[in-house]
Homo-oligomer: A and B are copies of this chain.
Amino acid sequence: MVSQRNSCVSITAGQARACTVREALDRVGGKWSIGILVAASQGPVRFTELERQVEGISRRMLTLTLRNLERDGLLHRRVYPTVPPKVEYTATPMALELYESLVALTAWAERHRTAITEARAAYDREHGAPAD
């Protein structure tokens, strides 16, 4: 298999790898993407249901993020042409795999949550600016 057209034109092997990671990050780095993906991973979810589950999201951002996820092939959108419209969003197999790939990252975040908080506090103490 030939190596796919990459969009990562880097000199060093390390930076090429970094670029690959960013490809994934770019699709999931949005403020609401993960929350929506998680909700849609449990099975088909309707628009209003998402609006409730993903707390704090606005109607606008929900729509936009849904469109982006659908465009990237991470969500499947099914429309039932009923009188009150009904739309269901489902995570695709690719999205489920993505979620699996995030397990390690979640574990990391949990392991180091305290350390990070303390590192920040120490930094802010040493330098003047809370910046928060």
| A interface, CB within 8 angstroms of B | 4, 6, 10-12, 14-15, 17-25, 27-29, 31, 34-35, 37-39, 41-42, 53-55, 70-73, 94, 97-98, 100-116, 118-120, 123-124, 131
Contact = CB atoms under 8 A, between A and B. Distances in A.
B71 A27 contact: no
Contacts of A38: 14-15, 17-18
Contacts of A131: 71
How many monomers of this protein are in the complex? 2
Contacts of A6: 113
Tell which of A18, A34, A98 has the most Cβ of chain B within 10 Å.
A18
Contact of A71 (B18, B54, B114, B123): B123
A32 B15 CA distance: 11
A35 B53 contact: no
Given A20-B106, A105-B105, A114-B4, A120 B73 contact: yes
